[in-house]
Amino acid sequence: MAIYSFDDKRPQIGKGSYIHPTADVIGDVRLGENTFVGAGAVVRGDYGTIIVGDNCSIEENCTIHARPGEVCTLGDWVTVGHAAVIHNAKKIGDYVVLGMGSITSDYSEIGEWAVVAEGAVVRNSQKIPPETIVVGIPAREVGKIDEAFKKQWTIFKRNYVDLANTYPQRMKRID
């Protein structure tokens, strides 16, 4: 894994977290416990701060970045789908799902259990209410989350916590 300091800022990695060898974690980044960072992901706290909660999944090829002197915060149990981009989001609540290829822009806020669909764009300063499903460019509400969804996604989210805990023992480079 590539973990870099930037000036005097060093990443803090929580217990049980896993960072793939091809992922980059740079500067003022605070990863919670049992968080999975997939191959090719870049979590870049070079001139801003990135705080990622416990039990999160930052899947392959994601980018997370913060503006100078600002903070980008992800709650607990957040799923960031493959190739999603988060740029200086003000707050991403607990249990949020950001679909593959979605973009979450500056100063946006996403409420607990909200879902941003694949390829959707959350605009600058846009606020997504809790338990809301949004799609499109720009993101617009199309539905609400129910208890069946929460139950199913709780299982999916635990899979990545399991991966964070088992990858170090089970994945072996063979070339």
- Taking only the tens place, the pLDDT of each residue in 68-83 is 999 999 999 999 999 9
92 within 8 A of 114, measured Cβ to Cβ:
no
Class of 2-169 per CATH? mainly beta
In tens, the pLDDT along 84-137 reads: 999 999 999 999 999 999 999 999 999 999 999 999 999 999 999 999 999 999
Q: How far apart are CA 168 and CA 170, in angstroms?
A: 6
50 within 8 A of 72, measured Cβ to Cβ:
yes
Output the pTM of the full model: 0.95
Q: How far apart are CA 144 and CA 161, in angstroms?
A: 26
